[in-house]
Structure 1
Amino acid sequence: MTLGQRRWMPWLYLLPALGLLITFTYVPVGNMLLYSFTSWDGLDVTMEPAGLDNYVRVFTDERYWRVFLVSGYYFAASFVQIAIALYFAVILSFETRFRNLFKGILFFPYLLNGVAVGFVFLYLFQPGGTLDTVLGGIGLGEHTRFWLGDPDVANISLAGTSVWRFTGLSFVLFLGAIQSIPGEVYEAAEIDGAGRWHQFRHIIVPGIRRIISLSFILAISGSLSVFEIPFIMTGGANGTRTFVVQAYETAFQFRQIGLASAMAVVLLIVVLIVTWVQRRLVPDEEVQLT
């Protein structure tokens, strides 16, 4: 094999993956960007150019940017999710009875389909459903609410569902990072008299800083792009409509593909900007524990 052949051989192995990436990621993004400058309804053969009208409408029409405020509920819930996942990851990284069982229990919700999760919690939160029955059984029946019908608590209920579903993902990320820290570091810390709290503060947190940073990035992007849970459980009613649900309705109910594409481009830009800001504020640092 010549030097030129050896140089091109790695690219030959990468071609299938690159082909799939370009076909199913970059080409659709390019089409979406093209559609955003038209007034296409998704059915006509020709596309009428619209210039920047779709983008102007997204930023000036209150209906299209007010739904971003709903993402705040999911953003706040993501911090709860990260805290719960980190807590259990730290506990189960040490010797604990039935820890493999608890690992499975915590990760199992993430394996479920989002539509199935939506329907399960739809029955949980419905009037007279599982949650109301449990509250009544323990003497808290006066605290029952219209969990999905009351605008004051509907988004909190949906955000809680999101926490239940995605905690397993953060848990696995944290657990894998914690277990990658050499055991000798813990042994040395114990010899020096460091307790669990000091080990967590001075060993675990610095050792998994990159994973914590990644979790915040996923939390930001995930809170801005929530779709399945509010769409299945409420259809966006009672003030639960997210930006992605609004874009979906714009595209497939009102046949405004151009406007919906502009909304998707704006969402992509917002996620990239927020992620860039987060990376600037919390840059990666090399951490040496040994």
Structure 2
Amino acid sequence: MGRRPVAGHEVTRRPWLYLAPALILLITFTYVPVGNMVFYSFHKWDGLDVTMEPAGLDNYARVLTDERYWRVFLVSLYYLAASFAQIAIALYFAVVLSFQTRFRNLFKGILFFPYLLNGVAVGFVFLYLFQPDGTLDTVLRLIGLGDHTRQWLGDPDIANLSLAGTSVWRFTGLNFVLFLGAIQSIPGDVYEAAEIDGANRWHQFRHIIVPGIRRIISLSFILAISGSLSVFEIPFIMTGGANGTRTFVVQAYETAFQFRQIGLASAMAVVLLLLVLLITWVQRRILPDEEVTLS
């Protein structure tokens, strides 16, 4: 028996049937909350009252002019520097482990394991590590460096460095996996041809690997900038934003749930979203996504 011919409109409608569940979830849990957030940002609301008081642009003016709200962006510079360190460390190990190396599967697992841990668990682990007379101070004393013990989370001069170091440990694995997958997608005969021409590992890295994974490097920089602006878990769990470690997202969280200023916190979130989109657009203009072919 022959197949029943499918009408043209049915063929056109069929892909949407497969996309419908994902679109419904995306709209429900992403676009609708974002729309509500934008709506709240133009009102004064404590999150409990039935009615909202229109505020116009007052919330945005307060976010952009009050030093308390934009000064915390300076804390993001610590995490931005930490993100660049993550990229450098991850790229180094991805290049090394992409070639034949003893126990490379073991090292891959060790590098990626921290990213699998829950952010709250990582915060508590490093909280015990950095506490006075904790693990780090004990290790320093054992190796004869007891004079270098500090209030790692209590001293405002080094608290952000400690938190940024924690983020390096946790997120290096993500960049490592991205780089490793991109490097392994480069055809092997390209390396063989380079070796025949006398190229050493440095030449292969410079002229084959870097051009071949340019898109992933660009993506990593985008994630680094957006991630450094939206840090929340590590400072919130480890210090609660004390001692000069309050980030913009922690400030927005406290504004919404501690001071019950939902409209102002929503305006802060919208400003952060627009800032991330602007930085991403500028970065894509500076580093356009070019087609790279090595095969």
TM-score bracket, shorter-length normalisation: over 0.9
Q: How does 1:120-139 map to 2 (within 5 A)?
A: 120-139=125-144
Aligned-partner Cα distance in 1 for 2:275–2:292? 30
Aligned-partner Cα distance in 1 for 2:50–2:36? 15
Aligned-partner Cα distance in 2 for 1:131–1:78? 23
Aligned-partner Cα distance in 2 for 1:79–1:141? 30
Counterpart pick for 1:224 among 209, 224, 229? 229
Residue 107 of structure 1 and its aligned partner are, at CA, apart by: 0.3
Q: Check if 1:254 corresponds to 2:259.
A: yes
Aligned-partner Cα distance in 2 for 1:139–1:172? 36
Residue 289 of structure 1 and its aligned partner are, at CA, apart by: 1.1
Aligned residues: 290
Residue 228 of structure 1 and its aligned partner are, at CA, apart by: 0.1
Counterpart pick for 1:283 among 275, 284, 288? 288
Q: How does 1:201-216 map to 2 (within 5 A)?
A: 201-216=206-221
Match of 1:273 in 2: 278
TM-score in terms of structure 1 length:
1.00
Q: How does 1:31-46 map to 2 (within 5 A)?
A: 31-46=36-51
> What is the letter of the counterpart of residue 86 of structure 1?
L
TM-score in terms of structure 2 length:
0.98
Aligned-partner Cα distance in 2 for 1:60–1:155? 25
Secondary structure in 2 matching 1:226: coil
Unaligned runs of 5+ in 1: none
Aligned-partner Cα distance in 2 for 1:193–1:284? 30
> What is the letter of the counterpart of residue 269 of structure 1?
L
Residue 261 of structure 1 and its aligned partner are, at CA, apart by: 0.1
Match of 1:82 in 2: 87
> What is the letter of the counterpart of residue 263 of structure 2?
G
> What is the letter of the counterpart of residue 278 of structure 1?
Q
Match of 1:240 in 2: 245
% of aligned pairs identical? 86
Residue 288 of structure 1 and its aligned partner are, at CA, apart by: 1.7
Counterpart pick for 2:107 among 99, 102, 113? 102
Match of 1:264 in 2: 269
Match of 1:164 in 2: 169
Aligned-partner Cα distance in 1 for 2:292–2:223? 22
Aligned-partner Cα distance in 1 for 2:289–2:258? 43
Residue 287 of structure 1 and its aligned partner are, at CA, apart by: 1.2
Secondary structure in 2 matching 1:219: helix
> What is the letter of the counterpart of residue 283 of structure 2?
Q
Counterpart pick for 1:48 among 40, 49, 53? 53
> What is the letter of the counterpart of residue 90 of structure 1?
V
Q: Show CA shifts across 1:131-180 (max 9, x none).
A: 00111111111111100000000000000000000000000000000000
Match of 2:199 in 1: 194
